[in-house]
Amino acid sequence: MRIIAGEKKGMRLDAPKGDKTRPTGDKAKEALFSIIQPRLAAAAVLDLFAGSGQIGLEALSRGAARSVFVENSAYVRRILQSNIRRTGYGDRADVLPFPAERACRQLAASADRFDFIYLDPPWDRQADMMARLDPYLAGLLTEDGLLVMEVPKTLETAPSVTGLEYRRHCRYGGAMLFFYQKMAGAHA
């Protein structure tokens, strides 16, 4: 696994061993960033279920101002923190060592808002995770922010997210990426 573009292009990242995480494939990652690149300059990024941190670190490499990584597993978090140190982005990265729901609740209570949220919950618990996170997601986005959710390609319809409007999807390998923005007139 590596950073594919930006100031850290080509830098290798460590990935957790075993099946604790499911890294986003290179094709999906390349497509995602070709779509969101114009939004990344000075952006605040939230990488939920961060795993190795490859999405948030890629965003930093491409010009994002800050990434917040949410990773509950201590083992996976050690690898994430090692990747942050390797890239030298420690001053632009925050790691929240909580379950995603607690992290979202804490962020929602703060003034933090994000231009880009990447959400890649464990596929076997996706419906439950989405139900728990749904009350917070729209409120964590800036007015013109973008939320991208990675789901298994077997999911035939875009999951609904309160206060957000489905915009498009892309299919890559075994994954689909669903894109959402705030509904016109929706306020957090």
pLDDT in tens, 151-169: 888 877 788 899 999 999 9
| Closest C-alpha to 142, from 164, 171, 166, 125 | 164
Give the rounded percent of residues in the chain with a pLDDT score beyond 90: 65
Q: Is the pLDDT assigned to residue 147 strictly greater than 60?
A: yes
Amino acid letter for position 111 = A
Q: What global pTM score does this model have?
A: 0.92
Q: Which residue has the higher pLDDT, 185 or 11?
A: 11
**What pLDDT is stored for residue 184 in this prediction?**
67
- Residues β-bridged to residue 177: 150, 170
Domains, in order of start, for the chain = 26-182 (3.40.50.150)
> pLDDT by residue (tens digit) across 83-140?
999 999 999 999 999 999 999 999 999 989 999 999 988 877 777 888 899 999 999 9
Give 17-72 as a DSSP string.
STTS--PPPHHHHHHHHHHHGGG-TT-EEEEET-TT-HHHHHHHHTT-SEEEEE--
**What pLDDT is stored for residue 185 in this prediction?**
56
